[in-house]
Amino acid sequence: MLMRSLNAVLCVLLMVAPPAVFAQAASTQVAAYRINPGDQLEIYVWGDERLQRQVKVLPDGTIAFPLVGQLKAQGYLPQELESAISSRLKNQYRGEVPQVTVSVVSPSGMQFSVLGKVRSPGSFTPGRYVNVLEALSMAGGPNEFANLDNILIIRKVGDQVRSIHVGLAPIFKGGGGAAAVARDNLLEIETGDTIIVP
């Protein structure tokens, strides 16, 4: 029943939310992907078969690559990692360094957990960026006793741990759903987040 109401809310939001809300949401969805530990990368140095391979980002956020050594990858955009590899390869070439391409083959490092009063708590690897409402949907949706006014997201930022409170009750109660979407309630989930639904 609650899952049907969650789907109904999403359908209503699609019909009544102003286009600007979804334009903003769409731009969030296509936000540039930052590399996480556990991601599988394909690194291709054009014209040099020795330097074409797939590597996995280690738990400490680094990769090992021939002629480059150990290199930090966590938190970088693929283009930034391309520049870092090119810079390290300069000493290996007399002329210009061949073009370096970095692709995220498997974004399996993008993980978060949902705990508390949801139907299917656990850890999730969406393979894309999701917002807090999509995260709850992946966990089967809130159960009938969930307090949707006081959802807590625990996020590690460097050495610090932040607590972020999110209220989604207006979306589920109907009526103010579109206005609720327009506010900051649909926070984007970051890798390593823990969402607690009291």
CA 153 – CA 181 distance, rounded (Å): 18
Least confident of 25-29, 35-39, 41-45, 72-76: 25-29
Intervals of CATH 3.30.1950.10 along the chain:
40-106
Q: pLDDT digits over 88-137, tens only? A: 999 988 889 899 999 999 988 889 999 999 999 999 999 888 999 999 99
What percentage of the chain has pLDDT greater than the value 70? 78
pLDDT at 174: 66
Structure tokens at 111: 């993980």
CA 2 – CA 83 distance, rounded (Å): 48
Nearest to 2 by CA among 124, 123, 133, 142: 142
73 CB contacts (<8 Å, ≥6 apart)? 35, 39, 41, 57, 61, 62, 63, 81
User: What fold characterizes domain 40-106?
Assistant: wza like fold (3.30.1950)
pLDDT at 53: 95
Answer whether residue 31 shows pLDDT above 50. yes
User: What fold characterizes domain 2-31+110-197?
Assistant: Outer membrane lipoprotein wza fold like (3.10.560)
